[in-house]
Amino acid sequence: MAEQLKGACIIGQSGGPTSVINASAYGVIKTALENPNITKVYGAAHGIRGVLDDVLYDMGQEDPAELELLLHTPSSALGSCRYKLKDSEVDDTDYKRILEIFKKYDVRYFFYNGGNDSMDTCNKISKYMQKAGYECRIMGVPKTIDNDLWGTDHCPGFASAAKFIATSCMEIYHDARVYDTGMICIIECMGRHAGWLTAAASIATHFGQGPDLVYLPERDFDMDKFLADVKRVYDANKKCIIAVSEGIHDKDGKFIVEYGAADAAVDSFGHKQLGGLAATLANIIKGKFDAKVRAIELSLMQRCAAHCASETDVQESFRSGKAAVECAVSGITDKMVGFARSKDENGNYVCEIKLMDLSDVANTEKKVPDEMINADGNGITDAFIDYALPLIQGVPQMKYENGMPRFAHLKKVVAK
């Protein structure tokens, strides 16, 4: 048993939001508020920026009933950021400031809720605090719709996005074949380097009501082969539904979206801001087929459609936040909470908590493995379906008021 450590905790959220990142945060906040070793629970406004700017919310002043609504409230309730910490060997200004704030509020627990880049931030802070000899237990709480965090079976947030994508694709399937005229429909899903989300479109196909063709960034995209694929499907029944990942690229690494669009902008992490791929492909297809061609971008909805979340994802996200606090209080630090998959005696899916070193997780990407992609590179295999189906179970147990979702309203009282 590690020595008891008393002090305040900070929870921060970072990176692109998901439908369930607040469920993870609620897992941290509720568990921390109930733990006698944690003297105060602060929420950092806009992730690490809130620490640097000394804008911390006193979560103890929130109404518990509102906090509970975080389970089904999309986006990052505390605010997010895409701020990248410099290497502390190069410039330790930010780190000194973070240490100053930690000391000011007697912060002994730090929970950071995000994806790869956030785990990098979390890892850097952890290593700096160790070097500085400041005792603080630091835990990463994962989230990413992209499902690309290394070492965990799956990531909180993925399943809800997957469920929205699969459900929307199934609904679009019905809509897109309503007329007796030709129709080609291209559905664009998020995913720069990993095709997990686009693969989720195939869940609808598994039920006989989904895309005919699915292209992931794990395979080089060949325009001629694509057009031949579309022709083969379209010639057979005058309908073709295609799901594409925003990050598909040709064998030279050129993004397909760039075939038709101006060079994409670049965000503060150096990632290209992609988008408009479906429209680009639609323009290429138009004229080649006697069909109406429709481009659909699932856009922000795939990461914020809490009304279509997976309740399994909601509950697992909560558990990941809860586990982070319990582990930290028990003496663990410098880890990210992850999931391991196992089965119960009846062969049913069971999700267990596992821990990974932050330094292993930071900036490592997990792509869709070969065995989940078909030989033609235009669809997925049953291995993916077997993997994904247990994750999307359960209708979200949301609160509705007057026909609309009732999301959490936080007071956000700034700590003095």
As annotated, the active-site residues are 146
Among residues 36, 263, 404, 416, the one that binds a second copy under rule CB under 8 A: 404
- Single-letter amino acid, residue 136: C
Q: Of 52 and 328, which CB lies nearer to a second copy in the complex structure?
A: 52
Q: Of 8 and 48, which CB lies nearer to a second copy in the complex structure?
A: 48
Among residues 220, 236, 393, 411, the one that binds a second copy under rule CB under 8 A: 393
The H or E element containing residue 342 is strand 335-343
Q: Does 33 bind a second copy (CB under 8 A)?
A: no
Q: Which of 115, 108, 106, 107 is nearest to 80 (CA)?
A: 115
Retrieve residue 270's tokens.
């150096």
Q: Does 342 bind a second copy (CB under 8 A)?
A: no
The H or E element containing residue 34 is helix 21-34
Q: Which of 124, 69, 132 is nearest to 100 (CA)?
A: 132
Q: Coil, strand or helix: which one is 7? A: strand
| Residue 348, marked binder | no
| Residue 144, marked binder | yes
The H or E element containing residue 139 is strand 137-142
Q: Of 112 and 128, which CB lies nearer to a second copy in the complex structure?
A: 112
Q: Of 149 and 172, which CB lies nearer to a second copy in the complex structure?
A: 172
State the first-to-last Cα distance of the chain, in angstroms, to the nearest integer.
34
Q: How far apart are CA 409 and CA 65, in angstroms?
A: 10
Q: How far apart are CA 232 and CA 251, in angstroms?
A: 23
Q: Of 191 and 377, which CB lies nearer to a second copy in the complex structure?
A: 191
Q: How far apart are CA 150 and CA 316, in angstroms?
A: 17
Q: How far is the CB of 329 from a second copy (least distance, A)?
A: 29
DSSP 186-207: EEEE--SS--HHHHHHHHHHHT
CA-CA distances (angstroms) from residue 160 to 258, 302, 389?
29, 8, 12
Q: How far apart are CA 60 and CA 157, in angstroms?
A: 26
Q: Does 301 bind a second copy (CB under 8 A)?
A: yes
Q: How far is the CB of 310 from a second copy (least distance, A)?
A: 7
Q: How far is the CB of 206 from a second copy (least distance, A)?
A: 9
Q: Of 60 and 405, which CB lies nearer to a second copy in the complex structure?
A: 405
Query: What residues numbered 189-228 form the site for a second copy, per CB under 8 A?
Result: 203-204, 207, 209
Q: Does 405 bind a second copy (CB under 8 A)?
A: yes
Among residues 76, 113, 280, 317, the one that binds a second copy under rule CB under 8 A: 76
Among residues 315, 367, 394, 412, the one that binds a second copy under rule CB under 8 A: 394
Q: Cβ–Cβ contacts within 10 Å for residue 399, how many?
A: 15
Among residues 11, 25, 59, 81, the one that binds a second copy under rule CB under 8 A: 81
Q: Does 392 bind a second copy (CB under 8 A)?
A: yes
Considering all CA atoms of the chain, what is the largest pairwise distance in Å, rounded to the nearest integer? 72
Q: Does 290 bind a second copy (CB under 8 A)?
A: no
Q: Which of 234, 185, 198 is nearest to 378 (CA)?
A: 198
Q: How far is the CB of 305 from a second copy (least distance, A)?
A: 6
265-266 and 7-13: which strand pairing? unpaired
| Residue 381, marked binder | no
| Residue 247, marked binder | no
Q: Coil, strand or helix: which one is 180? A: coil
Among residues 24, 31, 80, 144, the one that binds a second copy under rule CB under 8 A: 80
| Residue 246, marked binder | yes
| Residue 184, marked binder | no
x/- string (CB under 8 A) for a second copy, residues 162-181?
-x--xxx-xxx-xxxxxxx-
Q: Does 118 bind a second copy (CB under 8 A)?
A: no
Residue 25, CA atoms < 13 Å, CB-side half-sphere: 36
| Residue 190, marked binder | yes
216-233 as b/e: b if 16+ CB within 10 A: bbbbebeeeebeebbeeb
Q: Of 169 and 324, which CB lies nearer to a second copy in the complex structure?
A: 169
Q: Does 125 bind a second copy (CB under 8 A)?
A: no
Q: Does 115 bind a second copy (CB under 8 A)?
A: no
List contacts with a second copy (CB under 8 A). Answer: 16-17, 45-46, 49, 73-76, 79-82, 163, 166-168, 170-172, 174-180, 185, 203-204, 207, 209, 276, 279, 294, 296-297, 299-301, 303-308, 310, 389, 392-395, 400, 402-405, 407
Annotated binding site for diphosphate: 16
